[in-house]
Structure formats: structure tokens, C-alpha cells
Amino acid sequence: MSELFSWKDDYATGCEIIDNQHKKLFDIINELFTAFEGAFAESQVPRILKELEEYTIYHFSTEERLFVEKNYPLKDQHKQEHDHFIQKIRKFKLDLESGQNNLLAFDVMITLKDWLIGHILGSDHKYIPYLCKN
């Protein structure tokens, strides 16, 4: 399987559940990248996008539950970033279904990758002292 990007220790938050979920998101985006490169993109991409959307929602709900439990002060701002990313995925799905994004697939992959890495290194690392330390 081709990889668009891979996990690095710099991305770790120290919360095992969060880090494992982030790794799964990397895997799904890499699977999507591989599907776009291959001959079976039309049959695989919708399934992978559905999985990406569902797993992203699952992951974000895990983080947001921890925000409430640990009284994380930036939870509302962080949730807005989550909502924005889910909307990006949904727009990409709609564009793809209507045939608009086939030529932009690589650009979309870069956007997904860059958003996820930027979000982990930026916003997610801000909650480490609140959620990931004893």
C-alpha cells in the first residue's frame, strides 16, 4: 500500500486511546490515497470515504467526551475545528459523487493530510496537560 504520510513520534499526545485513533485515521487516509492511485478507485473510494467520515466522528466524540470529563477550557474552539473537518469530508464526498472532484483528488488528499497533522500538532497538543497527564 502506498503511503501519503506515516505516523511519527512527534504526533503522540501521550493518551494511548487518542494516539491509536489518530494512527487509524492515518491508515484510512493512506488507504484512500492508495485507492485513488489504483485502478479500482471508483469502487473503493466511496466505501473508504464513508469509513473516514464515520471513524472521524467516532474519534472526535472520544476527544470531546474527554474534554467534558477533564473540563478542558478550549473545548468549544476545538469542537468547531472538528465540525469543520467533518464538513470538509462531507463536501468532498458530495463533490466526488457528482463527478466534480476526480481531477482534484490529489489536492484533497494533501488537504486531509495537512489538516490532520496540523490539528494534531497544534490543537491536540494543547490538551495534553489536561487530558493526557496524570
> What is 40-88 written as a DSSP string?
THHHHHHHHHHHHHHHHHHHHHHHHHHHHHTT-TTHHHHHHHHHHHHHH
Where do we find the cell 499526545?
Answer: 13
Domain residue ranges in the chain: 15-132
Task: Supply the pTM of this predicted model.
Answer: 0.90
Query: Per-residue pLDDT tens for 51-96?
Result: 999 999 999 999 999 999 999 999 999 999 999 999 988 888 888 7
Contacts of 130 (CB under 8 A, 6+ apart): 70, 71, 72, 73
Please state which architecture CATH assigns to domain 15-132.
Answer: Up-down Bundle (1.20)
How confident is the model at residue 33, as a pLDDT? Answer: 85
Q: Which is nearest to 62 in space by CA: 93, 26, 29, 16?
A: 16
